[in-house]
A and B are shown apart, each in its own frame.
Chain A
Amino acid sequence: MEADEFETFVRQSTPALRRYARAVTADPHEAEDLLQETYVRMAGAWHRLLADGNPLGYAKTAMVRLHVSWMRTLVRRARIAPPARPQVADGGLGRVDDHDQLRRMLADLPPLQRVVLVLSYLDDLTDEAIAEAIGRRPSTVRSLRHRALGAIRAELPTHAGVVDREVAG
């Protein structure tokens, strides 16, 4: 009975959690891995999650924590090989799509900074809630968000100029 409930939950929540995993990881392949690992973790605590009544909230928090815990592994990998970037479409005429540009910037951010952006702007969480989710202090959350936005702002105007020039011809 509970196994059926769990599988029903997986089927119903997959679209939302897949989108969330893609936002958190900025990598579709890593997102699938994170999605499945999150469900595996939930299966182990399904009794309690049913009692708590908010399995989707648990899934998001578990996903973020899993991803942050993978940071160390990613950092180690990064020392050996450069981080993989998602393929970016160039529109066929050299015109850079804004979304692809921003998507690439997000992929280049350190995982913790990207997670803070997701929790801040996709989930609209307070700094205190974000701090609790990622196991850091609220001041650290503010600092991470500041650095993430700084990195994006530093690249956006340059690329916007490129886009403008390319569009102008």
Chain B
Amino acid sequence: MSDVRQALRAVWDSDPDHYPAGSDPLPGVRARLRRRRRAQAAGAGLALSAVVGIGAFGVMLAERSETPPTGATTASPTDSAGPAQRDLRGLPSYLESVDATEAVLKSELPQLVPTGVRAAYEGSGPVTRVIAVFDFTAPTGLPGTPREVTVPSGAQVLTTDDPVTSTAYLTAWRPDGSSLFLAVTAAEVEERSAAIDALIEANLG
């Protein structure tokens, strides 16, 4: 056994002399990392498209099912989702309204919060901060992993969870054209998801 072992070791030890010296692997590693990031970005884009597509399909189905009977007066487009609102319902009771600008500046990604009618809430419970923007002006890409949610109304909703910033994000477009952006910060992903679900139920239901 030991002779084979010694022979194997001798072979492996002589490899650097036997084979030509290899080149610096760093350029190849960097190229592979770039390709991988591009592929991941493309995959994430595909997932986002799928989520938005499912939402759009839901809206289409909802609109079909809400076709008014012949002769009836046309229903207001806001009937199903209510008028564009400026108050956020479904918040944890321990959160209190705070200055929105300060809250945005304190968040991990302030540049992500779109312009619009902003409101912010902070507290010392499991959820530490909620930033809401009503009727935001520009749609924005959301960081993190897309998460499927159940939306009771015909609103198009995109939700993601970003563990890096401990924040769950939501953008929603109601059938009446109003929109809502949410950023919910909590240490635990379960708390973030539960808070987002409650806010969807209360504000988009």
CB-CB under 8 A for A152 and B29, given A22-B15, A28-B19: no
Given A32-B22, A149-B1: A99 touches B29 (CB 8 Å cut-off): no
A23 interface neighbour in B7, B12, B36, Cβ under 8 Å:
B12
Contact A10 B26 (CB under 8 A): yes
**With contact pairs A36-B32, A37-B32, A40-B36 given, residues A14 and B8 touching in the complex (Cβ less than 8 Å):** no
Query: Which A residues from 65 to 124 make CB contacts under 8 A with B?
Result: 98-100, 102-103, 106, 117-118, 121-122
Q: Tell me what chain A mostly uses at the interface: helix, strand, loop, or mixed.
A: helix
B10, A99: Cβ atoms closer than 8 Å: yes
- Size bracket of the B interface: 20 to 34
Q: B5 — nearest CB in chain A belongs to which residue? A: A121
Interface centre among A28, A32, A117, A121 (most CB of B within 10 A): A121
B16 at the interface (CB under 8 A from A): yes
Least Cβ–Cβ distance between A154 and chain B, in angstroms: 12
Residue in B11, B15, B22, B25 with the greatest tally of chain A CB atoms within 10 Å: B25
Chain A min CB distance to B35 (Å): 9
Taken together as a complex, chains A and B put the C-alpha atoms of A113 and B13 apart, in Å, by 19
The answer for the CA separation of A99 and B24 in the assembled complex, in Å, is 26
Check: A134 CB closer than 8 A to any chain B CB.
no
Question: Cβ of A122 and Cβ of B9 under 8 Å apart?
Answer: yes
Report chain B residues within 8 Å CB of A11: 24, 26
Q: Which residues on the B side are within 8 Å of A152 (C-beta)?
A: 4
Closest 4 CB pairs of A and B: A39-B29, A36-B28, A28-B19, A40-B32
With a cutoff of 8 Å between Cβ atoms, the chain B residues found around residue A98 in the complex are 7
Question: Does B14 sit within 8 A of A, measured CB to CB?
Answer: yes
Q: Does A166 contact B (CB under 8 A)?
A: no
Residues from chain B with a CB closer than 8 A to the CB of A99 are 10-11, 14, 18
Q: How far is the CA of A30 from the CA of B3 in the complex (A)?
A: 28
Kindly count the residue-residue contacts between A and B in the assembled complex, taking CB atoms under 8 Å apart: 68
**CB of A35 within 8 Å of the partner chain:** yes
Whether A14 contacts B9 by the Cβ 8 Å rule is no
For chain A, give the interface size range. 20 to 34
Q: Which residues on the B side are within 8 Å of A40 (C-beta)? A: 29, 32-33, 36
Nearest residue (CB) in B for A6 is B29
Closest-CB distance, B47 to chain A (whole angstroms): 19
Q: Is A142 an interface residue (CB 8 A)?
A: no
Q: How far is the CB of A106 from chain B (nearest CB, A)?
A: 7
Known: A22-B15, A32-B22, A43-B29. A153 touches B4 (CB 8 A): yes
Q: Which residues of A contact B69 (CB under 8 A)?
A: none
Q: How far apart are the CA atoms of A118 and B8 in the complex, in Å?
A: 9
CB-CB under 8 A from B33, the residues of chain A are 40, 43
Q: How far is the CB of A155 from chain B (nearest CB, A)?
A: 12
A-B contacts, 29 of them at CB < 8 A, read A7-B26, A10-B25, A10-B29, A14-B22, A14-B24, A18-B25, A19-B15, A19-B16, A22-B15, A32-B28, A35-B25, A36-B25, A36-B29, A36-B32, A37-B32, A39-B25, A40-B32, A40-B33, A40-B36, A99-B11, A99-B14, A102-B7, A102-B8, A103-B11, A106-B11, A121-B5, A121-B8, A122-B8, A149-B4
